[in-house]
Structure formats: C-alpha cells, structure tokens
Amino acid sequence: MQTLRAFEAAARLESYSAAAQELGLTHGAISHRIRELETQLGVTLFRRTGRSMTPTRETVTLLAQVREALGLLQRALPDVAHSTPGRLVVSVHPSLATRWLVPRIGSFLRAAPDLSVEVRSVADLGEFLSHGVDLAIRYGSGTWGNAAGERIAGEVLFPVCSPAYRDAHRIRKPGDLRRCRLLRHAWQPWQPWLRAARVAMKEPTGNLTLSDTAMLLEAAAAGEGVALSRSLFAADDLARGRLVRLFDVEVDDAFAYYLTWHLGAPLSRSGAAFRDWLGSNIRETARQRDKRPF
C-alpha cells in the first residue's frame, strides 16, 4: 500500500520531493519504493527532466489502475487513507482559490488556531479528491460518482465591465450591450441573461473566448469588454471598483457550490467546521452583493 501511494503521488506531482512532503516520508524513501516497483514490474516508470520526474508511458497505464484500486479500498475501508490529525487538505479550482477563498481563509484559521490547512489548487475535475485531499470545493451539478457532498450555495450571473468601458460606451440600459463586445466563457452562454433582460440578440460570437472565469474577469477589468460573471468571482473586484455591475438583472445558474469528500468516509469534525465556515462566508458575500447599488 505504501509503495502504491508513493507511486501515485510521484506520478501526480511529477516530483519525488513533493510526493515525500505530501506523504510525510523522505525523498530517499519515495525513490526506494519506486525502484522496488520498477524492479518488480521490469519497466522504467520515471525519467528525470530538469527538476521534474516525468512519467513514462508505462506509468500512465499503471496510474489509472492504481487510482481505481486505491479508490475501491478507500470506499471499503475509509481508514486506509486517513487524514493527518490537526491537518486539513482542501482541494479547489485555481480560479475560485485566487478569486475568493484565499483572501478569506485567514478568518477560518483564526477560528481554528490548532488546525493546519493546505489549499491545493486542482483544475482537473476528475482528480479533485486525489490521495491526501480531505475536502474539495466544487462547482457543478452535485453528481460525482466518487464523492459524497453537501450543497453549500447557489449562484447568480450578471454582466460586469470596467468603469472606463462603461463610460466610454455609454452603457445605461441592457439594450446598449448590442454595441459592446460581449466576452465569452467557453461553457457559459449569454442567452439566459439576455432573455431575462429582454434583449433580442443572438448568442455572441465575438473574437475573444476564454475557458477560465479568472481570465474572463481580468479581460473585463482591462477594458476588453463586458463579461457575464458569477457573483462570488466578481465580489472583490466590485468592492475595489475594478469592475462595476451593469443593471439589476441577474439569472440563477443551474450549477451550485458543493463541499465534497471521499465516498463512504464520514465528514470529520474539522471538515464540518470548515463546511460551516464556508457556507457562512458565501452567504455573507451574497448579502454584500445585494446591498451594493447598481
């Protein structure tokens, strides 16, 4: 089991040192276990590339099988991958971490001074509960086959832009967006909001599409156009005046924020404390949004 955990961590992190730090082992211990596995299988699993350990083709094939096996064991025997007492590892998408969680996590640490928290940036939706992760904040439909979860809060969408862009394009009413560049998110259509605002427009086909919400809002703040934003992501930029909200029209998103953990494992006391803190702070962000004039 320890060898398989060492292999999975080294393959995921592409670093023996990072794997050692995550598992509480030495670099030498990780290296020894990988060599053992290579000898047993008769293949080379990693090749050094600069400071990284690059997985070979054999590693990619084996990794899928090892993850499936560890997942089955975790569901059957939750204690096989038990959490370190006093330490909470939280997985979150990079955009949500940067835009909302990290600027606020200090209040949770002050409320739980004996707890050590690691915020792990994970963009791959399939790996958000990889080995070593206790909790994951995910945005979606709430149906993940390998995870238990609890809905924390819904989300609303509304258009934002920089103050300079609003003034330069004399944006006063929703129909004014017809002469603006509408920035596009790869999987977030404008049509639901346009219908709610009674703006007869086809789905924008502008020349700038972005696949990440943080990038979308940076483009809007830079004056590149109007973005359709989720409220949590825009909260701090709206408070600072980097972005302004356009109009009081908003639409409910089909997705919501969930706190998830390993299927079959109980939510720990520290996990429950984090859940309560998370829900309280998301609701507070929503209250501040509702107080803000448009």
What is the architecture of the domain spanning 1-81?
Orthogonal Bundle (1.10)
Confidence (pLDDT) at 106: 94
Q: Where are the alpha helices (DSSP H) in the chain?
A: 2-13, 16-23, 27-41, 57-76, 94-96, 105-111, 163-168, 191-196, 213-221, 231-240, 269-291
Residue range(s) in the chain whose domain bears CATH number 3.40.190.10 = 155-252
Residues 6+ apart with CB under 8 A from 291: none
For residue 79, name the pLDDT band (cuts at 50, 70, 90): very low
Mean pLDDT calculated for residue range 9-26? 83
Q: What is the Cα–Cα distance from 90 to 115, expressed in whole angstroms?
A: 12
Higher pLDDT, 169 or 1: 169
Percentage of the chain modeled with pLDDT above 70: 89
Residue 105, C-beta contacts closer than 8 angstroms, at least 6 positions apart: 117, 119
**Mean pLDDT to the nearest integer, 219-231:** 95
Q: What is the DSSP letter of 65?
A: H
If we measure between CA atoms, which residue out of 211, 212, 185, 189 comes closest to residue 95? 212
- Give tens-digit pLDDT for 97-148: 999 999 999 999 999 988 999 998 877 655 666 667 889 998 888 877 667 8
Query: What is the model's pLDDT at position 223?
Result: 96
Domain with CATH 1.10.10.10 in the chain: 1-81
CA pair distance 241, 38, nearest whole angstrom? 56
Model pLDDT, residue 241: 94
Distance separating the N- and C-terminal Cα atoms of the chain: 57
- In tens, the pLDDT along 145-197 reads 667 889 999 999 999 999 999 999 999 999 999 999 999 988 889 999 999 99
CATH architecture of 155-252: 3-Layer(aba) Sandwich (3.40)
DSSP state, 127? G
Residues 231-242 have a mean pLDDT of: 93
Q: What is the pLDDT of residue 176?
A: 96
pLDDT band at 80 (very low <50, low <70, confident <90, very high): very low
Distance of CA 154 to the CA centre of its chain: 16
Q: What is the pLDDT of residues 25-68, one digit of tens each?
A: 788 889 888 998 999 899 999 998 888 888 898 888 888 888 77
Which helix (H) or strand (E) is 87 found in, with range? strand 87-92
Q: What is the mean pLDDT of residues 78-106?
A: 79
Strands 147-161 and 251-262: antiparallel
